Amino acid sequence: MRRLAFYGGTFDPPHRGHFAIAEALLKEFDLDEFIFLPAFHAPHKTRTKPTSAYDRFAMLCLMTAAAENMSVSKLEIDLPEKPYTIETLPRLKALYPEDRIFFVMGADSWRDILTWREWEKVLLMTDHIVVTRPGVEINTDHVSESVRERIVNKKGGSAVGAGPNIFFSDAVNIDVSATDIRKRIKEDDPSWRTDVPPPVANYIEKYQIYT
């Protein structure tokens, strides 16, 4: 049984924080592969429209091209509709029936989990890894008691509830914001280049993605 992690998100743009999460979780969870899963458009984010899915896919490919055990999936961007996670996870389980799947989300996604369609069922489908952000305390008051019983803090302690585990990991101590990167690009602030891998920075500049 392989151990596969799928990291869903918009990755607009992919940055060094995303890459650091992949590197850290590969080691921390003894993963065989870490797979980025860019969303065509997150259905629960109705107020913002992301950059073209194909540009974001290309940037992720550039970021991971030389990285061992990292890849990018087109599963969500190839579908004609905007799939919810409740629809994506069964597809992943069907594609990898013999493997253990970990679904990775950031602290912001965990905070907004109640806005996800059938969120409690989502959290029962696979193991989940919630990556915390530096200086941001992760709250669990908004989820049900049955969900809280399945949370495992990697610093210690174990889940007592039945079902797949929800791991909280603080393995990455980098606080980089894609929103802030886009803002600095529009303001012609060159400091944004330090927060994205060089091939991604070159792609952004060549194709004027955020200007």
**Residues 149-207: tens digit of each pLDDT:** 999 976 555 555 556 999 999 888 888 999 999 999 999 999 999 999 999 999 999 99
CB 101 within 8 A of CB 126: yes
Binned at pLDDT 50, 70 and 90, residue 42 comes out as low
Mean pLDDT to the nearest integer, 2-11: 95
CA distance 125 to 89: 7
Q: Give 161-180 as a DSSP string.
A: SSSS-EEEE--------HHH
Q: In this model, does residue 137 exceed pLDDT 90? A: no
Of 64, 54, 1, 58, the C-alpha closest to 34 is 64
CA distance 153 to 29: 13
Please give the biggest Cα pair distance in the chain: 51
Of 110, 174, 171, the C-alpha closest to 138 is 110
Please give the structure tokens belonging to residue 99.
């493997």
Q: Residue type for 119, please?
A: W
* Model pLDDT for residues 67-78, shown as the tens digit of each residue: 999 999 999 988
User: What is the model's pLDDT at position 80?
Assistant: 63
CA distance 37 to 60: 9
User: What is the model's pLDDT at position 138?
Assistant: 85
Q: Above pLDDT 70, what percent of the chain?
A: 91
Sequence spans of domains, the chain = 3-175
Question: Counting Cβ atoms within 10 Å, is residue 68 exposed (0-12), middle (13-18) or buried (19+)?
Answer: exposed
* Model pLDDT for residues 51-95, shown as the tens digit of each residue: 999 999 999 999 999 999 999 999 998 876 778 999 999 999 999
User: What is the model's pLDDT at position 154?
Assistant: 65
CATH classification (class only), 3-175: alpha beta
Give the relative orientation of helices 16-28 and 53-64 as an angle to the nearest 10 degrees. 60
**pTM for the complete prediction?**
0.91
